[in-house]
Amino acid sequence: MKLIAGGVIAVGAPALAVGGLTGSAFAEGSFTSSLNQVQPTFSSRQWIDNGSDNATTTVTLSSCEVNAAGKTPGSTKLSSVKVTLYRNGRADGSATHACGTYSFGNPGSGTYQFVITAINGNTSGSNRNTFLNASKVAVNY
């Protein structure tokens, strides 16, 4: 039996994986997605890191655009996006950049997700009229 998926060819069992692997070198796992009109307090999907490697956990936001309510994406200048990493339901670190790669070291095993906690300094308070788009989100852990 042959199974071809994502550049990995498996023939019978046991299988040999050849090429087509993506993500950080020796990373335990990764996934990609995008963001469309998210506001502060947006939570990503969860993932489980078993702590079976020493890979750094990173969240990369690419091609970011910001807009105010009712305006075209990109119509507002992007100054910063704050991303907070949660492990087992508790904040485990945060970083603020004008998008790009947010690095959280190797925080150990647990159930993780990231939260967009501020866009251009606006948080979940009364000034929630700022929206973020990122054409690609890459999480490596």
Q: What is the mean pLDDT of residues 67-95?
A: 96
d(C-alpha 76, C-alpha 109), whole Å: 38
Please identify, in words, the CATH class of the domain defined by 24-140.
Answer: mainly beta
pLDDT tens figures, 42-68 = 999 999 999 999 999 999 999 999 999
Do residues 47 and 96 touch, judged by C-beta distance below 8 A?
A: no
CB 128 within 8 A of CB 122: yes
Question: Which pLDDT score is estimated for 44?
Answer: 98
Instruction: Among 22-31, 52-61, 96-105, name the one with the lowest average pLDDT.
Output: 22-31
CA distance 51 to 110: 8
Tokens of 132: 């973020």
